[in-house]
Amino acid sequence: MGGGARILEATPESIREAADILLAGEVVALPTETVYGLAAVIGDDGALRKIFRVKGRPSCDPLIVHVLDLSGLLGLAEVGGALLDRVRRLCDAFCPGPLTFVLRKKKAVSDIITAGKKTVAIRMPSHPIFREILRRTGPLAAPSANPFGYVSPTYAEHVRASMGEEISHILDGGPCEIGVESTILDLSGKRFTILRPGAITAEMIGEVLGERAKPLRPMVSTDPAAPGMLRQHYSPRTKLRLFRESAAEILLNFGENSEKNVAIIYLSQNHGPPFGEKKWAENIFWLSEAGDWNEVARNIFALLRRLDGMEFDLICCQVPEKIGVGAAINDRLSRAAAKF
């Protein structure tokens, strides 16, 4: 794929142009601190439907609405009493940033956004370019700017490579700072629930609220309650297998006498090639030199995309424990491998 979408340098003029295009009922790919998003104004049902159409996204999978501040959130969700206090405390600690709230929606919120559900997912992005667009357009719905189910984009060129024939404008904000999608938080119960882990961890949220999270909501195959819950997602076209310590067992099962091309991803450069064999050494890749989890998260989607374009027969990737940001990385890789 690829094509003629324009990548606009993020100048004041191009930001105004992107906002005008959105207000005219089109979709535009925009940078966020997590991944690039495909945005449309929330009051235009035609533009919202275009998001689903160009992504190939099923209509049962809700969208996240992006707002500028708490006032924007309160305009779209039913929040009061003790719940409002919880939301305020979390906003003070983490917003703007990679935290999405799932809350009961107000009637004015389109059923297209919520997939007919009674809740709406809302977050306040921190990326300065996206925030400037929001000041000009008002709230925007924006899932990741990639074909549904494929690896998320963290560079403007990723968007053009996979969606360049489907959209016309991409606003370039440079590489995404975080690299994995936002944490999705359900506050509908007495204890909070993480629907999708991200850079804002359950431990961080628990410290602010003074409570422990309920167990992570399980992944589903159809009809997700909120964005980011589908079992299969973020998948490269190349077959992906996951391992904890060493890729040796996978490679043996793949065929020890095979000459097939295999890429092996380790979380940090502290690991050496499996078996110590030169055969695989040139196909070893690292996500972080020192094992920094934030660096791993920032690099994972970009590396998967790069290897997916190198005609490997198999990608083997190490997964971290489900602790801290490692939970988000583990989540994305588990969903990416579920296809295979």
In angstroms, the CA 300 to CA 85 distance is: 36
In angstroms, the CA 202 to CA 225 distance is: 19
Rg of the chain, C-alpha, whole Å = 20
324 CB-contact burial (10 Å; exposed 0-12 / middle 13-18 / buried 19+): middle
pLDDT tens-digit profile, the chain (340 residues): 455 799 999 999 999 999 999 999 999 999 999 999 999 999 999 999 999 999 999 999 999 999 999 999 999 999 999 999 999 999 999 999 999 999 999 999 999 999 999 999 999 999 999 999 999 999 999 999 999 999 999 999 999 999 999 999 999 999 999 999 999 999 977 889 999 999 999 999 999 999 988 877 777 778 887 887 888 999 999 999 999 887 777 776 665 545 568 899 999 877 655 555 556 667 889 999 888 999 999 999 999 999 999 989 999 999 999 999 999 999 999 999 998 8
Which amino acid belongs to residue 219? M
User: Is the pTM here over 0.85, yes or no?
Assistant: yes
Find all residues with CB under 8 Å of 154, minimum gap 6, and list them.
35, 36, 175, 176, 179, 298, 301, 302
For the chain, domains (ranges, CATH) are 6-209 (3.90.870.10), 240-337 (3.40.50.11030)
Determine the Cα angle at 123 with ends 119 and 124, to 5°. 150
Find all residues with CB under 8 Å of 207, minimum gap 6, and list them.
none
Residue with tokens 């380790």: 266
In 3D space, the residue among 176, 193, 195 whose CA is nearest the CA of residue 184 turns out to be 195
Which DSSP helix (H) or strand (E) runs through 37?
A: strand 37-41
